[in-house]
Structure 1
Amino acid sequence: MDTALTIRLALEADIPTLRQVMERAIDQLLPAFLPAPQVAASREVMGLDSQLIADRTYYVVQAGEAIAGCGGWSRRATLFGGDHSAGRDAALLDPATEAARVRAMYTDPAFTRRGVGRMILATCEAAAAAEGFDRCEMAATMAGEPLYAACGYRRIEPFEAETSAGVRVPLVRMGKSIARPA
């Protein structure tokens, strides 16, 4: 019998476990979509942005005591990347003219195909809509794009993030209109 999934805000105390979930997801899920050099390079352009935890916009999905996945949204300009990534921008977005950002979505490989990503997306979209946003955008990995497309996100543009070693990691900017609460 599967353990029920629950969702809650991430806490600073979760950070070590979240980093482990992210590592497992990169190691085990990306190789089906990218060659080994791009998988390794992904660590430079992906990862946990602790600002999301501080902003209370990052979530943990639990299956019992295990963290099955994590992800969040942001009212800040940064589209992707972790604490260690270059080019982050903490400027606040204007919900009247800009899209909220869906950020740092990871599912532990032991919990794929169980609704973890959909649960996080629905939570993020509802929270962003409650703050006045009517659109969400993200930088999707090749492994994440099928889920996001199935959840109504549309391709805006493919692009590449170049690492300090010159390896190019393919990503795709995706977006979706969301309904504001009445």
Structure 2
Amino acid sequence: MPSILIRVATNNDVPALTDLIERSVRELQAGWYSPEQIEAAVHSVFGVDTQLIADRTYYVAEMDEEMAGCGGWSQRGTLCGASHFGHFRNDVLLDPARDPARIRAFFTHPGFARRGVGSALLKHCEKAARQAGFKTLEMAATLPGVPLYAAHGYQVLDCFEVPLPGGLSISVKRMAKKIMVPDQVPD
């Protein structure tokens, strides 16, 4: 199996990330959400969050020298949504001593699905958040992502609807995981 290289995303990656995200949503979320929900989500909530790129906490996973996926973590209050999706924007910095870091915007290119891309990105993000002093992670997981996160120890806290244009919405699950016990020291 080819190795997965993870690197920090840059602004130069935005066009390719946008294409990857749209393709991932349209192909890998089919069957979980209606075609109308998918199209509304592609044009609103799903997309690149440039704040994550600016914070250097958004990553590109490459396999065979191709962009295979993307995802990141955040030390800011925004739980989900692209830069242009103002509904959940909260760019306040979180306090690692009391707040959970956020797992954000994971997407896999359909050609690389079920090859370990999401798991590699998740482990990378967990390690980076732990090194930044965070003890807990939280996310808004789309329904097709829930099995991946559950397999890595995330627990469902609740379910809520993310509003979309046209009066539509998509269901997501807020999930969390402890990544550091109180007496651990970040490496």
SS at match of 2:165: coil
Q: CA deviation at 1:84?
A: 1.1
Note if contact 2:40-2:165 (Cα within 8 Å) is conserved in structure 1: no
Question: Counterpart of 2:171?
Answer: 170
Q: CA deviation at 1:61?
A: 0.5
Q: How does 1:68-107 map to 2 (within 5 A)?
A: 68-87=68-87, 88-107=89-108
Q: CA deviation at 1:32?
A: 2.1
Q: Report the Cα distance in structure 1 between the residues aligned to 2:60 and 2:31, rounded to whole angstroms.
A: 25
When normalised by structure 2's length, the TM-score is: 0.93
Q: CA deviation at 1:102?
A: 0.4
When normalised by structure 1's length, the TM-score is: 0.96
Q: Deviations over 1:9-39 (max 9, x none)?
A: 1111111111111011011001121111211
Question: Counterpart of 1:120?
Answer: 121
Give the alignment's Cα RMSD to 1 decimal: 1.1
Q: Report the Cα distance in structure 2 between the residues aligned to 1:5 and 1:127, rounded to whole angstroms.
A: 17
Q: CA deviation at 1:41?
A: 2.0
Question: Do residues 21 (structure 1) and 20 (structure 2) align?
Answer: yes
Give unmatched runs, 5+ long, in structure 1.
Answer: none
Q: Deviations over 1:104-141 (max 9, x none)?
A: 10000000111100111101111111111000000000
Q: Report the Cα distance in structure 2 between the residues aligned to 1:162 and 1:89, rounded to whole angstroms.
A: 16
Note if contact 1:48-1:83 (Cα within 8 Å) is conserved in structure 2: yes
SS at match of 1:45: coil
Give unmatched runs, 5+ long, in structure 2.
Answer: none
Q: Report the Cα distance in structure 1 between the residues aligned to 2:45 and 2:19, rounded to whole angstroms.
A: 16
Q: Report the Cα distance in structure 2 between the residues aligned to 1:164 and 1:106, rounded to whole angstroms.
A: 21
SS at match of 1:102: strand
Question: Do residues 181 (structure 1) and 186 (structure 2) align?
Answer: yes
Q: Report the Cα distance in structure 2 between the residues aligned to 1:146 and 1:32, rounded to whole angstroms.
A: 15
Letter in 1 for 2:21: M
Q: Deviations over 1:50-100 (max 9, x none)?
A: 110110001110013210000000000000000110131110001111100
Note if contact 2:72-2:125 (Cα within 8 Å) is conserved in structure 1: yes
SS at match of 2:77: coil
Q: How does 1:62-73 map to 2 (within 5 A)?
A: 62-73=62-73
Q: Report the Cα distance in structure 2 between the residues aligned to 1:33 and 1:102, rounded to whole angstroms.
A: 21
Letter in 1 for 2:177: K
Which has the larger displacement, 36-45 or 165-174?
36-45
Aligned pair count reads: 181
